[in-house]
Structure 1
């Protein structure tokens, strides 16, 4: 009688061990990811430096920078949606500084507001370098006739505006612009779903344990009835 319980008990314990190990692994991944996000946040908030002559998209991602220059007319509008303000545009312009032409993300403009001209004089921009990875296979092509883009495609934007493929996302522009709200770099867009995955595996472990218990209890009941 007891021998008949060995096999289901074995597979029950094996499945439970697998689900628990996957849950524990996701908890470890969660701790690892939180450490990475903390490092990125510390880098974003660091003391700003001059924009490197040849910034590297990996080594200089999130680098805090500060520069003084001129924002030129002719902004490209990138359609976005924010949780607090709804739909609107990011304005991407040419930023001329120290003989260079770079891209600058001036911030968020609500859909119901007219597109403002850039500041007439020199401005000091404090922000972060970034190469956002927003283009997917489902991203529509830019509507150039309406001046609406659907992602910050740095190589394409640089080619369109005749700049280096370097984007400064403004954290602060001095003097500030009316109707414009900076959308600075943060870690909110970096996925961190490990807690959810861990919870799923632990729930599956619990369900597996309950089903195994019911199965073994039913098997024992049938064995007693057959005596």
Structure 2
């Protein structure tokens, strides 16, 4: 009696396993297919984003957003827009650590006071570490016109390092924190990456904005698709085994 009971239980367990295996493979195939479709959607979204940014970068410059437009300045609607702004540089600067094609150094962030009383932080460009002293670079006086790319604020820090305003150590271009530290008011929630100036070797060096978007969605979609196909093969194999 005991042996027959164990045999029956073993047969029932084997049947359940033969049913559960193809069912599990089918569920996995559905999940992997959904993930693959999602990555394809992300791929087209990323391609559209790249196309929009390219059109902004190479378009004719437009006036930088005024104060009433600040709430609408978002990564989707405004970043990398080719803009221009007029005003006077204030006698204060913030150096933000950077690494460029010229090596390690700093971005020179200078407030631009506009006629309407608002201020825009301008990344005037890059200076190498050994040229960080104010005497080693130009500082325009009087009215100036700046042309460059609109960039969103970069709050917090970068590369696992937090900004330390009290110590004067900056790792990201955090507009709000820089404005607070320098006592600035009515500051735009974005900054401008100034375009390249005259090629006379003067500092800072503008026009070093790197526009590069990681786009691995096609590879991810193919990976999920391959896993979905493998799961379908497992489903068919399990189904045939169950029938046998």
TM-score interval, smaller chain: 0.7 to 0.9
Matched, 1:64 2:82: yes
Query: How many residues matched?
Result: 215
Distance 1:196 1:85, change over 3 A: farther
CA deviations over 1:44-69 (Å, ceiling 9, x no partner): 33221223431325346233222343
Tell me the CA shift for residue 94 of structure 1: 1.7
3-state SS, counterpart of residue 149 of structure 1: coil
Q: Is the 8 A contact 1:37 1:187 kept in 2?
A: no
Alignment correspondent of 1:24: 37
Question: Is 2:191 the partner of 1:178?
Answer: no
- What secondary structure does 1:56 align onto? helix
Quick check: 1:69–1:122 contact (8 Å CA) kept in 2?
A: yes
Alpha-carbon offset, residue 153 of structure 1: 1.3
TM-score w.r.t. structure 1 length?
Answer: 0.73
CA contact (8 A) 2:42 2:217 kept: yes
Q: TM-score, normalised by structure 2?
A: 0.69
Measured in 2, the distance between the counterparts of 1:93 and 1:75 equals 5
Secondary structure, counterpart of 1:73 in structure 2: coil
Q: Deviations over 1:147-191 (max 9, x none)?
A: 331221111212233253222221244697713222555642x55
Aligned match of 1:141 = 163
- 2:125 match: 107
Deviation at 1:99, TM superposition (A): 5.2
1:94–1:163: 8 Å Cα contact kept in structure 2? no
Give yes or no for contact 1:68–1:122 (8 Å, CA) kept in 2. Answer: yes
> In 2, are the aligned partners of 1:72 and 1:118 still within 8 Å (CA)?
no
1:103 match: secondary structure: strand
Q: Deviations over 1:84-121 (max 9, x none)?
A: 34422111012233354321111222223234242345
Give the RMSD, CA atoms, in angstroms. Answer: 3.6
> Which consecutive residues of structure 2, in runs of 5 or more, have no partner in the other structure?
1-14
Summarize the Cα distance change of 1:112–1:122 in structure 2 as closer, same or farther, 3 Å threshold. Answer: same
Q: Which has the higher helix share?
A: 2
Give the match for residue 110 of structure 2. 93
